[in-house]
Amino acid sequence: MNPFKLSWKNLWSKPLNATLNILLITFGTCILTVLLLASNQIEQKLENNSKDIDLVVGAKGSPLQLILSSIYYIDFPTGNIPLKEANELARNPFVKRAVPLALGDNYNGIRIVGTDTNYIGLYKLKIKEGKFWQQDMDATIGATVAKEQNLKVGDTFYGGHGLTEMSDQHKEHAYKVVGILAPQRNVTDHLILTNVASIWHMHDDGEAHAHEGHNHTDFKNEQETEGKEITSLLIQYRSPMSVAMFPRMVNQMTSLQSASPAMESTRLFSLIGVGVDTLQWFAVLIMLVAGISVFVNLYNSLKERTYDLAVMRTLGASRLKLFIIIILEGLILTVIGSLIGLAVGHGILQVIGAYQESSQARLTGLIFLPQEVYLLLIGLAIGIFAAIIPAIQAYRSNISKILAKN
């Protein structure tokens, strides 16, 4: 009969009290787990997707919207920009690499992105099967897209107009899958990539037909820029100096707007952060209440048990043993609560992920973080703090006095 078994038996002699205490700890830990995992995953996704992009240039509007639509593919684009102006910016000496984006179509809610070969270099894309897009209407699809839509190299599909579930399809032109990307662990897993001309094809049929036979992949071709539009331009700077000069230049000299992913992501995260902070304090409050509840539970049960504990002393238990038994009771409650809380937190996140609409920002409960150990340690600490006063009382109790008060 070791101390652990004694503590365990004693706790479960009052199952309702034990369950309530465990439940409170579980609830607190669960909220903290979800917050920790979700904010960590969101932060990581934000960073992964924008790490090599210094600036996004697009139509005037909300800079956050521009970032969301051009880097995270979540919001709608701010509008279109003339290809001519975009080309001029791309040739600017501050710019090392400029990648055009043409958005506006989807396949079953997956965004079709018209771009050029610079995109491959920007995201360091690798092919798993087939090849990168070359001709008009060639499509190279992300790894997740291939898996979820069951598309293989050689398959064809129709794009739909708009960015959400397709309403009217562009039945005239079918895309042909020519390649599948290796998993990149960023937003490109969830995209369909093609050339800019394919997007143009879809939208102004008349003009597109006029250019039949030409190779549209090089969007910089001067003759064809007239009247053409793209959605935005992703820019990599040549030197750190550009940070100070280039955005101002874009905003002042052109009708376009520039937005820095780093700045906008920070702004976005600080907006989410308010909510996260509130929930975090809420969870801390619950943990505090849980700790007090464990304390009250142990303290009350100690009062009822003073005689029992004194009898145990007469049977040969040392003061230290009683101390350990009480501390263990606190620890058992909080550690069980913390472990269940962690498990439930992961479960909840997994369920949330399954119901999420946008696949780009999908959360998962299957990622474990080293910081979760801290949550377990917090549980341990609460258990010890809640039990320490009752345990010291048990340690100090004068058994002669207790037994004399028959």
- Number of residues binding to another protein, judged by CB under 8 A: 25
Q: Which of 93, 213, 316, 370 binds another protein (CB under 8 A)?
A: 316
What would the two tokens of residue 232 be? 């935005």
Contact region for another protein (CB under 8 A) — 2-10, 93-101, 119-127, 327-335? 2-10
Does 319 participate in binding another protein (rule CB under 8 A)?
A: yes
Q: Minimum distance from CB of 319 to another protein (Å)? A: 7
Smallest CA-to-CA distance from 193 within 237, 256, 130 is with: 130
Contact region for another protein (CB under 8 A) — 59-67, 68-76, 121-129, 304-312? 304-312
Closer to another protein by CB, 311 or 339: give it: 311
Burial of 209 (0-12, 13-18, 19+ CB in 10 A): exposed
Site string for another protein, 370-399 (x = CB under 8 A): -----------------------------x
Q: Which of 284, 317, 352, 380 binds another protein (CB under 8 A)?
A: 317
- Give the number of C-alpha atoms closer than 13 A to the C-alpha of residue 36, restricted to the C-beta side: 21
DSSP label at 370?
Answer: T
- Measured in whole angstroms, how far is the alpha carbon of residue 174 from the centre of its chain? 33
Length of the chain in terms of residues written? 406
Please report, for residues 311, 319, 388, 393, 401, the alpha-carbon distance to residue 398 in angstroms, rounded to integers and kept in the order given: 12, 10, 18, 10, 6
**What does the alpha-carbon distance between residue 194 and residue 104 come to, in Å, rounded to a whole number?**
12
Question: Strands 110-115 and 192-195: what pairing?
Answer: parallel
Does 315 participate in binding another protein (rule CB under 8 A)?
A: yes
Contact region for another protein (CB under 8 A) — 10-18, 97-105, 138-146, 350-358? 10-18
**What does the alpha-carbon distance between residue 124 and residue 49 come to, in Å, rounded to a whole number?**
12
Does 15 participate in binding another protein (rule CB under 8 A)?
A: no
Q: Minimum distance from CB of 24 to another protein (Å)? A: 22
What is the binding site for another protein (CB under 8 A)? 1-2, 6, 9-10, 12-13, 307-308, 311-321, 399-400, 403-404, 406
